[in-house]
């Protein structure tokens, strides 16, 4: 099928884009890489009369570092961020997630901001943003505002962005020394959306996990931050017993739904298994960066916390 007729606007600045959205609300929609929006238009599931294409706004495609954050412009293409040494160094979890998104041609067009603004419950990048406590910067008629990742994802395909707002940039806190990350997922075919995916990042301090971040996609309408699993890991060494404890804590905490693709029980079980795998790999990568003690203090009789 073909989309219904629409008028295409190609603003050169964020201010122009915001003004266009205000002028044509509620019939205007933002166009980024088009990899989610264009199929919706073609199937006529979305029928905006105006499309505001962000592709000419150079400032939205900037990727830069500040002292504390890696700042990713909303229009940075996923493939560019995937290859960026700055992303690999400062946000290794973000770098680990990209290969799981679709296929290279989709990532060549798809943007980091588009994926986050779309808010698909099975997408990888929302889980990464939530795990890292990223900060979203939105621009609207009233100016700019910051939105914490925990507040950004509100429901299936719903975010905290108002209809007249643009996502401008996402600030990812820079990884501390001794940090490793891993993204693990199960999908029916390579490149499909995940049935379940787990984003994990650990920072090793004094030979144990000083900071653990675990977030799951595909088990609810928004990314699930696995606080109980994180607590089971923090201050400990990731022995098999500890990883199993964290996995069980996660399984007990989530309430996934079943659908045509997987039962709720399968999703729950796999989430725990992937979490253990992701944390173990993240820890291996972290220790490659910062040597650590490998014994579990509890087991050895020297409590680790």
Ligand X SMILES: Cc1cc2nc3c(=O)[nH]c(=O)nc-3n(C[C@H](O)[C@H](O)[C@H](O)COP(=O)(O)OP(=O)(O)OC[C@H]3O[C@@H](n4cnc5c(N)ncnc54)[C@H](O)[C@@H]3O)c2cc1C
Binding footprint of ligand X on the chain (CB under 6 A) = 29-37, 54, 74, 101-102, 106, 110-111, 113-115, 117-118, 120, 123-124, 161, 166-167, 193
Q: How far is the CB of 294 from ligand X (least distance, A)?
A: 35
Query: Could you tell me the CA-to-CA distances from 213 to 130, 131, 133, 176, 179 in Å, in that order?
Result: 9, 6, 9, 13, 11
Q: How far is the CB of 103 from ligand X (least distance, A)?
A: 7
Q: How far is the CB of 283 from ligand X (least distance, A)?
A: 25
In terms of CB distance, is 137 or 289 closer to ligand X? 137
Q: How far is the CB of 32 from ligand X (least distance, A)?
A: 3
Q: How far is the CB of 124 from ligand X (least distance, A)?
A: 5
In terms of CB distance, is 141 or 265 closer to ligand X? 141
CA distance 87 to 65: 9
Going by C-alpha positions, the residue among 231, 222, 268 that lies closest to residue 127 is 222
CA distance 3 to 93: 36
In terms of CB distance, is 167 or 196 closer to ligand X? 167
In terms of CB distance, is 158 or 288 closer to ligand X? 158
- Residues linked to residue 158 through DSSP beta bridges, in sequence order: 155
Going by C-alpha positions, the residue among 173, 176, 179, 207 that lies closest to residue 289 is 179
Which 3 state secondary structure label does DSSP give 48? Answer: coil
In terms of CB distance, is 131 or 204 closer to ligand X? 131
Q: What sign results for the dihedral spanned by CA atoms 58, 63, 67, 68?
A: positive
């Amino acid at each position: 099928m073909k989309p219904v007729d629409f008028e295409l606007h190609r603003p050169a600045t964020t201010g122009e884009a915001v003004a266009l959205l205000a002028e044509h609300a509620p019939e205007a929609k933002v166009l980024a890489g088009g990899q989610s929006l264009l199929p919706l238009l073609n199937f006529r599931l979305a029928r905006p009369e105006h499309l505001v294409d962000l592709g000419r706004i150079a400032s939205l495609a900037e990727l830069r570092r500040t002292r504390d954050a890696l700042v990713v412009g909303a229009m940075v293409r996923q493939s560019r961020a995937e290859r960026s040494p700055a992303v690999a160094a400062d946000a290794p979890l973000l770098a680990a997630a990209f290969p799981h998104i679709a296929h290279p041609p989709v990532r060549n067009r798809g943007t980091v901001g588009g994926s986050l603004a779309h808010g698909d419950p099975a997408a990888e990048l929302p889980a990464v943003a939530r795990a890292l406590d990223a900060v979203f910067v939105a621009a609207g008629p009233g100016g700019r505002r910051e939105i914490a990742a925990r507040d950004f994802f509100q429901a299936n395909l719903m975010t905290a962005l108002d209809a007249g707002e643009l996502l401008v940039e996402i600030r990812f806190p820079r990884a501390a020394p001794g940090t490793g990350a891993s993204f693990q997922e199960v999908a029916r075919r390579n490149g499909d959306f995940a049935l379940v995916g787990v984003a994990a990042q650990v920072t090793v301090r004094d030979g144990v996990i000083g900071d653990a971040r675990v977030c799951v996609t595909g088990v609810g309408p928004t990314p699930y931050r696995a606080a109980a699993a994180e607590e089971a890991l923090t201050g400990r060494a990731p022995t098999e017993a500890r990883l199993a404890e964290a996995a069980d804590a996660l399984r007990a905490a989530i309430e996934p739904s079943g659908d045509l693709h997987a039962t709720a029980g399968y999703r729950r079980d796999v989430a725990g298994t992937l979490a253990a795998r992701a944390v173990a790999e993240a820890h291996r990568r972290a220790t490659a960066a910062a040597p650590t003690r490998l014994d579990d203090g509890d087991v050895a009789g020297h409590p680790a916390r």
